[in-house]
Structure 1
Amino acid sequence: MAPFFHALLPGLLWMDIALVGAIAGIFLIASMRTSKKDLRPLFGFFFLITTEIYLIYWLLHYIAPPELLSSSAVQLVFGAGILLLPYCFWMFSLSVFDDGFRPGRLHLAVLLGRFLLVAVTLPGRLPEHPFLFLESSGKSDDLLYLFPNILYSLALIFHSLLVAHRGQRDDLVELRLDLRRIFVLLIGLLIAWIIASLFILRPLQADLPVSLINATMTLLLSLAFLWLAIRLHPDILPLELKEKVGYRPDPALKERLLEALEKDHIYRQEGLTIGELARTLSVQEYRLRRLINGEMGFRNFNDLLNRYRIQEACELLDRPDLPIIRIATDIGYPSPGPFNRVFRTLTGQTPTEYRQRKKE
């Protein structure tokens, strides 16, 4: 039975490589067809390419002569790709689940920190079979050197999980909301599997079963990823692969919503959620989400609230007798800090600068 499983594993890896490569090609085309501001297809492409590098190196481990894997060029190319895999996964997750995401110095620092960590902990000790982001051969010595890098990878995965979970309450894109829930479940299972395989199964020398399960999981996740990417068009993969499901207007509900916002100023309520607003309007939450997203064009509930809050703030700032801290709390912000950040994002200036320019 063992020879059969040894023969099965390369076959699974060939299928993984072909499938991931095809998806990467679709994302590359998408990145060339979208605006430069939309970085989701590009980050998706890099995530898939680093996944492809990992899969190819894994396959070479089983079919290639040891001399090939030990060459400096192979170690450099494949080692860099494997080390970048968790980082690319993290960046892609942020670009998909955080509408306000923009790469900055923090993200560059995290990338540089990855290579610094490797330089300190793994000089000349890269294992010959990196499982997922880095794999141990099961030896305690390897695990000791790999542990900081495993923690780094798990930290990025946990943060991706947190971002996906945190945005569930305010996300107005229904299909992406479904993806958030699926993502939380899958990543939770993935984390549990990483911990179990690294610290329980591999020390028990269960390398072949673990590798077979890893290859099968990669194949199934790749298929799921492709299906979701197509289904979630154009929110993740902006290609014209299928017609967007049309939104059916609801004039009566829109009128009630606008009345609640413009006449009742319900947005002033601190911590208002879309669920609470739906209960106030006596409507199902999913219908309210469709209205705000499909007809008013908002992808996030907080974007809607901020638009109305800052609009009123601009009017109140014309009154010099009102302190800025009072304006912030009156329109629904818990403190001046969040108010200042949102105001600057939407207007390009701080509330103080806005008030001073109005005086001139």
Structure 2
Amino acid sequence: MGGPGILVTLDIALRGAGIALLLIVAAATLRQARGRPAAWLGALLAVGAAAYAVCSSPGPHDPPVWFAPVLMLCTGNAAIFWLFAQAMFDDSFRLRPWHALVWMGLVVWPLAHLLGAGFTSHWLVGVLVRGAVILLALLALAQTVRDWGSDLVEGRRRLRLFILIAVALHIAATVTAELVIGTDQVPMSLHLLNSGALVAIAAIIAMLLLQADLDSVLGPTPVGPAADAVSPTLQPARPPLGTVAPEDEPADPALLATLDRLMAVDRLYRQEGLTIGVLAGRLGLPEYRLRRAINRGLGYRNFNEYLNRHRLADAKQALADPGQAEVPILTIALDSGFQSLGPFNRAFKADTGMTPTEYRKAAEGRNGA
């Protein structure tokens, strides 16, 4: 009797420690929110993980009605994880009303089950919900991997690796175990392993937060639209005031001057298949030094964003040039370095608030005035 009792006590202690660490992570992240979705989604993700530590504990699974908020946080956390991955790793991501519907679709099942709805006991409903959880975990994984090579923020690159190895695999393994073994048949040893993994993940996140510059990882606080949406001049992004990068090191002025020449004079951004690895090879530098220079010296968080800023400036200049009024927009897009019209139109609209055609007409009006 003593053996199982010790395991239960150890499991409770580990879960309690994990919950405490996760709530500390949530509070620390929320302090950095300042209108940034990645910050408060990260805090909500940590709270949901703490709720999961409670929901996945061994014992009777017939909670009272007042337990509904904890169940909703636990079940809906897969959607929060998916949204967090998008907000963290896609600088152009914006929350939409339909995102809330995805979260609500997950929490309806446990809420209805708690209120005694009969349909929730059907095995197919459980499989569909768990399938949705796995699908969202895979989508979050895809977002984590996407554009990894062009990410210029070192802290965010490390976070990608941690999420890829630890969090997503933990969610997938847990759901798979429940599907194969059954929720009520999971042995105490697996419960203990689960709680230990939660503590390890929470501890690693807490250490990363203590070491990281959250302003750098989470990105600058959102500001209003650009003052001059139709200006054809290049306005590179700048790091937020007061940001101090970890392992702070001033960018090499000579390297920044070389980059400026390659882009402004040689127009290297027009080269097809240009990656940060290709550019680093041309400069004879390791990739991490080039990433650090572009991120810290010029304020860009993504290499593609850096290239597109130059490409868009090139396209704006061409669209505003009366001598190129008859040149097709597709030709201008390709000449500027974009591979097709669709990505060019989306990037142009996001940057200026106008379509290329509208921008050209506005420029014609200014030139004719």
- In the TM superposition, what whole-angstrom CA distance separates every residue of 1:278-304 from its partner, at most 9, and x where no partner exists? 112222211111110010000000111
Aligned residue number for residue 52 of structure 1: 50
User: Distance in 2 between the 1:73 and 1:8 partners?
Assistant: 27
Q: CA deviation at 1:162?
A: 0.7
Q: CA deviation at 1:7?
A: 2.1
- Residue segments in structure 2 that go unaligned for 5+ positions in a row: 220-241
User: Distance in 2 between the 1:110 and 1:7 partners?
Assistant: 36
Instruction: Give 1:231's match in structure 2, choosing from 211, 235, 239.
Output: 211
Q: CA deviation at 1:17?
A: 1.9
User: Distance in 1 between the 2:191 and 2:116 partners?
Assistant: 24
2:41 and 2:84 in contact (8 A); partners too: yes
1:42 and 2:40 are equivalent in the alignment:
yes
1:173 and 2:175 are equivalent in the alignment:
no
1:207 and 2:148 are equivalent in the alignment:
no
User: Distance in 2 between the 1:321 and 1:262 partners?
Assistant: 25
After superposition, the Cα gap between the structure-2 partners of 1:123 and 1:155, relative to the gap in structure 1 and judged at 3 Å, is farther
Instruction: Give 2:74's match in structure 1, choosing from 77, 82, 86.
Output: 82
Q: CA deviation at 1:118?
A: 6.2
Aligned residue number for residue 10 of structure 2: 8
Q: CA deviation at 1:249?
A: 2.4
Q: CA deviation at 1:92?
A: 1.9
2:53 and 2:198 in contact (8 A); partners too: no
Aligned residue number for residue 137 of structure 1: none
1:250 and 1:291 in contact (8 A); partners too: yes
After superposition, the Cα gap between the structure-2 partners of 1:47 and 1:173, relative to the gap in structure 1 and judged at 3 Å, is same
After superposition, the Cα gap between the structure-2 partners of 1:9 and 1:278, relative to the gap in structure 1 and judged at 3 Å, is same
- In the TM superposition, what whole-angstrom CA distance separates every residue of 1:109-166 from its partner, at most 9, and x where no partner exists? 423433466689997379xxxxxxxxxxxxxx87543111111111111111111111
Moved more, 160-169 or 227-236: 227-236
After superposition, the Cα gap between the structure-2 partners of 1:337 and 1:155, relative to the gap in structure 1 and judged at 3 Å, is same
Aligned residue number for residue 333 of structure 1: 338
Q: Which amino acid aligns with 2:144?
A: A
2:18 and 2:199 in contact (8 A); partners too: yes
Identity of aligned residues (%): 30
After superposition, the Cα gap between the structure-2 partners of 1:91 and 1:204, relative to the gap in structure 1 and judged at 3 Å, is closer
Aligned residue number for residue 64 of structure 2: 71
1:20 and 2:22 are equivalent in the alignment:
yes
User: Distance in 1 between the 2:194 and 2:279 partners?
Assistant: 44
Q: CA deviation at 1:69?
A: 5.3
User: Distance in 2 between the 1:339 and 1:265 partners?
Assistant: 17
Q: Which amino acid aligns with 1:321?
A: E
Matches within 5 A, 1:168-317: 168-187=148-167, 189-191=169-171, 193-194=173-174, 196-202=176-182, 205-234=185-214, 235-236=216-217, 244-317=246-319
TM-score scaled by structure 1? 0.84
The two structures, once aligned, show a CA RMSD in angstroms of 2.9
After superposition, the Cα gap between the structure-2 partners of 1:121 and 1:160, relative to the gap in structure 1 and judged at 3 Å, is same
- Residue segments in structure 1 that go unaligned for 5+ positions in a row: 127-140
2:15 and 2:195 in contact (8 A); partners too: yes
Q: CA deviation at 1:236?
A: 3.8
1:351 and 2:356 are equivalent in the alignment:
yes
Q: Which amino acid aligns with 2:189?
A: P
Q: CA deviation at 1:229?
A: 2.1
Q: Which amino acid aligns with 2:6?
A: F
1:40 and 1:236 in contact (8 A); partners too: no
Instruction: Give 1:151's match in structure 2, choosing from 120, 127, 131.
Output: 131
User: Distance in 2 between the 1:40 and 1:270 partners?
Assistant: 32
1:257 and 1:281 in contact (8 A); partners too: no
Count of aligned pairs between the two proteins: 336
Q: CA deviation at 1:191?
A: 4.9
TM-score scaled by structure 2? 0.82
Aligned residue number for residue 96 of structure 2: 104
